[in-house]
Amino acid sequence: MSNLIKPQGYRALLDMRQTEQGIKLIKEFFQQNLSTELRLRRVTAPLFVLKGLGINDDLNGVERPVTFPIKDLGDAKAEVVHSLAKWKRLTLAEYGIEPGYGIYTDMNAIRADEELDNLHSLYVDQWDWEAVINAPQRNVTFLESVVRRIYGAIRRTEYLTCETYPQIKPFLPDDIHFIHSEDLLQMYPDLTPKEREDAICKKYGAVFIEGIGAKLSNGEKHDGRAADYDDWSTVAENGKAGLNGDILIWYPVLGHSFELSSMGIRVDKESLLRQLKLEGQEEREKLYFHQQLLEDKLPLSIGGGIGQSRLCMVLLHKAHIGEIQASIWPEEMRQECEDMGMKLI
């Protein structure tokens, strides 16, 4: 409850019927734009995977997956996915996707350890995407070019939404600003990582923060990243570590920064081994996914996740993600939101 942001004078611009129509409009239009921009084909994804294969996304490494036994497999344990970061790379190999092409899917997850607030729900829905790349493309210049294409698709979707609902006014800037997490620390050395995100997003409107996962010069990480999907340790052509990052915007409805996507160039053999060692997780080398990568059976790739409910929330100018998706909320939060005009589904 303490994390609930309470925007003063908030008023939903769309009623519930219009909101549902707007969600459909945004999801259909954006995924078509995303697939065209990045040359992605849609694939069907699992809701759960077998435990112990190293396929599930470990996020920051501390979140507990929802687990259940499978009767017909001798009570073998399955885990509801956190995301599909590693599953997608296995699928690229299975489908024989060529460099320059990729896949996307509707990812639905349950994150039982999430702290519930305006942006965080037990239920997570993303467009999870992954594309095959060549070794020379494992650099920041290529990463930023992909970010610009994704941001362009977001802005086109904003334009369509505002044309459909004239009461909604566009606010996203024309361009997205790039900054490394170490440079951001140097700009705002006395602020916490979240406060630094707020400051830089308020200044530029839309920002891609690079190099998330490695320790910065103050000995702390900007944010945690699992060791076995994003490459956050390779020193890039800019002399700084990390080939990954987050797309964030300044969201005036809440007066805070707002993460729309986490993405990056994925680990190769060298960076996987290096990052597992840095995190003290060398035992994971024996897992199925990691063995596939170490035996050169997986392609080099870039990928990420783009929040479906989050994008709809932003483009429809909603103050709580529960106005977009059906989930479970503390009754006190639900009542408080109702009193402030945030009607949760």
Catalytic residue among 126, 137, 275, 327: 126
Separation in Å, CA 310 to CA 26, 107, 204, 232, 317? 11, 14, 20, 25, 10
> Is 128 known to be catalytic?
no
What pLDDT sits at residue 1? 45
Given a cut of 80, whether residue 119 has pLDDT beyond it is: yes
> Is 228 known to be catalytic?
no
Catalytic residue among 183, 259, 279, 336: 259
Catalytic residue among 31, 181, 257, 262: 262
What pLDDT sits at residue 70? 92
Mean predicted lDDT score pLDDT of the chain: 93
Per residue in 281-329, pLDDT tens?
999 999 999 999 999 999 999 999 999 999 999 999 999 999 999 999 9
What pLDDT sits at residue 62? 63
Catalytic residue among 58, 83, 111, 137: 111
Proportion of the chain above pLDDT 70, given as a percent: 98
> Is 262 known to be catalytic?
yes
> Is 8 known to be catalytic?
no
Average pLDDT over residues 118-141: 95
Concatenated DSSP letters for 205-262? SEEEEE--SSB-TTS-BSS---TTSB--SSB-TTSSB-SEEEEEEEETTTTEEEEEEE
Per residue in 23-67, pLDDT tens?
999 999 999 999 999 999 999 998 888 888 777 766 555 678 888
pTM, entire model: 0.93
> Is 57 known to be catalytic?
yes
Catalytic residue among 198, 246, 268, 323: 246
Per residue in 161-179, pLDDT tens?
999 999 999 999 999 999 9
